[in-house]
Structure 1
C-alpha cells in the first residue's frame, strides 16, 4: 500500500503565551490506553483500520445516532465503503446496538482493550470533518471510569486518494495496494488536553469555534479539538448529506438525471 513510514506525533494546543522549554518539558512521549478507554478518530481510509488494529487491537464500532454497534476487524474494513448511511432508525431494527456508556462498561469489565469511535459515521477525504453524530450526548467518561483520547489521520496525497467514495471498492483497494508511496500522518492529542464533561480552562477558549453543540457538549468539544490539532476544516454536512450527494452523482453518471 506504499506506507513505508507513518509520521506519528503527540500534539498539544498552546493557549496564551508559554515558554518553549516548559512546553517541551510537559510534552508526553507516548500514549497509553486502558481497557474501555475511548479513542475518537476521524474516518478516512482502510489504512486507518489497519493502523488501529496493529497499534491497539481495539474494539471497533459503528455509530448509529447516539448508539454504537460492535464490529469485527473485517466489518470495520467493509464499512469504509458502506452504501447506506447508519441512522438512528436503523439502530432500532438492530438488536446488538448499545449506548457508548453500556459498551464502555462492558469492554472495561471484560478487559477487551480500548474502543474506537468514529463520530462522523462515514469516511471523508481527510481534509475536513463532517458533522458528528450525537454519540456522546449521554456519555460521562468520569462516571464510567474511562478516559477519552483523540487522534486524527491525514494522507497528504497528490495523485491517488486513499479514501473510497464511489464505484468498485475492490478496484480501489487493488490500486491502493499497488501504490509505491502513500504518505500517512497520525496525530494524538496530549492526554492533558483531552476533554471531559466537566468545565475546563480550554472550554472557554474554544467557545468561539463551537457550532451548535448544545445537545452534545462533549462531542462538540472533541470536534473543535480535532479540527484544531490537525487543521481539519469543520463542515456542517452530515453523513446523510454525503450519501444523498453520492446517490445524485451516481444517477447523473448513469444518465438518469438530465441537465436542465
Structure 2
C-alpha cells in the first residue's frame, strides 16, 4: 500500500501513465479495426455481442500477460537463427500475425471486388460463423496484446501503471466499437480503406518480426492522412446527395 501511495505522489509516474494510455489507445486502433470488419460480417443480432466478447478477450489476454511480465521480457531473446538473423518468440508471433493479417485483408478485398454469387443471390449479409469470427479475433488479440504489453514494459517498470493504462485503453475500445462498426457498415468505401490499413499493419508486423524497425509515427500519420481524405470524400458525397434531393 505504501508503495502505491508513493507511486501516486510521483509526478513522473503520472506522466508515464498519461503517455502509456495514449500509446495503448493508439495500438488498440489496429485491433478495433479488425474486430469491426470481422463482426460486421455476422448477423446483426450477433454483432454487438461478438464485439464485446472480442474486446473482453483482448482485456483478459493483456491482464494475463501482465501477470507474467518477467516471462514476456524473455520473449525478445533469440531462440534460433535463420539466414544469420536471430528470431525470438515475439518475432515469430509478430510474423505469424502479420501473415494472418495479409491473408485476411487480401481475402476480404477479393470478396468485396468479386462477391460469392450464391451469397449475393441469397441477399444475406452474414458470411461468417460466430465461432469462426471469435476464433479469428482471438488470434489477432493475442498478437496485438503481446505487442501492447512489450511496449508497456519498455515504457515503465511499474505494473500498476501498466494495468491502469491497459484497462483505460480497452475501455476506450469498448466505447468506440459500436460507433466505429456502424460507421464502417454505413460507408462501404471505408471498408476498403480499413482493409488497406490492415495490409500496411500486417507488413509492418512482418518487418518488425525480421528486425526492421518501422517508426509507428509514420504508420499512423499515413493512416490519419488517408482517413482525412476519405472523410472529405464522404462529406462531398453527402453534399451532392443533399443537393440532388433538394432539386
Please state which structure has a larger fraction of its residues in helix: 2
Fold-level match, TM-score > 0.5? no
User: Normalising to structure 1: TM-score of the pair?
Assistant: 0.27
Instruction: Indicate the structure (1 or 2) with the bigger Cα radius of gyration.
Output: 2
RCO comparison, higher one (Cα < 8 Å, 6+): 2
More strand by share: 1
Q: Give TM-score scaled by structure 2 length.
A: 0.28
